[in-house]
Amino acid sequence: MTILSVNINKIATLRNARGENYPNLLNTALDIVKFGAQGITIHPRPDERHIRYKDAVDLKKNISCELNIEGNPIKKFVDLVNEVKPAQVTLVPDSEDAITSNSGWDTVTNYSFLRDIVDDLKSNSIRVSIFINPDIKMLEGAKKINADRIELFTGPYAKEFPNDRYRAIEQYVKCSEVANDIDIEINAGHDLNQNNLKFFCQSVKNTKEVSIGHALITESLYNGLESTIKSYLQILK
């Protein structure tokens, strides 16, 4: 079964809107785990407009499941991760003012930069995933960097899925086959939802983990958080 890691950035956005601690981010994360999710994902940004750096510390101390921290590896981020020591770090090349992640790393051009950071994080026993577009060269570059996993950017898949699901998934399947051959594990994330997730996981059978936030939280407005998480878990079985 592919692991479901719930991205709780949107819960933090809602909390911060009133300058109070409601909804309580930690309590919501604990409920998400209670409802069956196997992981919690956060993506702190330098301006802390949703997830705050302190949230990462509090979550690591209190949740029983895997914590995945995503972000651009600026010094402040790397220092945080080395302090918290989550189960997994996902390195994402987003700019400081990005609304959301919209592209993966060029692992060839950024080889030296990423290799040094990966080595540093892995020396603290942190699993490292590199966020990439579904490009075999970038996948092979991530392997050379010594990353444990890659996270396939599924935005293009989700955009094309309503028009032609088979064309949408084609490059991801090719990447999954190469990943299997060169022994690097696969995560996936961005714009996955209850409509397109099942086909993705049926096609990319070696997907270890999906990180889903925006769609899951949005769907929860209509169906409730517990019911929505259980629907995702059923899809992933």
Residue ranges of the domains in the chain?
3-236
Q: Which residues are bridge partners to 132 per DSSP?
A: 152
Among the listed residues 161, 139, 165, the one whose alpha carbon sits nearest the alpha carbon of residue 150: 139
Rg (CA), the chain: 17
Q: Is the pLDDT of residue 150 over 70?
A: yes
* % of the chain exceeding 70 in pLDDT: 97
Q: Looking at residue 143, what is its pLDDT?
A: 98
pLDDT band at 94 (very low <50, low <70, confident <90, very high): confident
For residue 171, pLDDT over 90 is answered with yes
- Say what the pLDDT of residue 101 is: 63
185 is catalytic: no
| From 43, 50, 66, 209, the catalytic residue | 43
Fold classification of 3-236 (topology level): TIM Barrel (3.20.20)
Give the separation between CA 98 and CA 23, rounded to whole angstroms. Answer: 24
Which pLDDT tens digit goes with each residue over 18-73? 989 999 999 999 999 999 999 999 999 999 999 999 999 999 999 999 999 999 99
Q: Which of 66, 190, 209, 219 is catalytic?
A: 190
Catalytic annotation present for 219: no
Residue 103 has phi, psi (to 5 degrees) of: -170, 155
Bridge partners (DSSP) listed for residue 14: none
Residues of the chain above pLDDT 90, percent? 95
DSSP 146: T
Of 50, 66, 70, 209, the active-site residue reads: 70
Complete DSSP assignment for 60-99: HHH-SSEEEEEE---HHHHHHHHHH--SEEEE----TT-S
Q: How confident is the model at residue 127 (pLDDT cuts 50, 70, 90)?
A: very high
Global confidence as pTM: 0.96
Looking up tokens 């990462």, which residue turns up?
56
The DSSP code for 53 is: H
Q: What is the pLDDT confidence band of residue 103, given thresholds at 50, 70 and 90?
A: confident
Q: Say whether 190 is catalytic.
A: yes
**Cα(18)–Cα(10) distance, rounded to whole angstroms?**
14
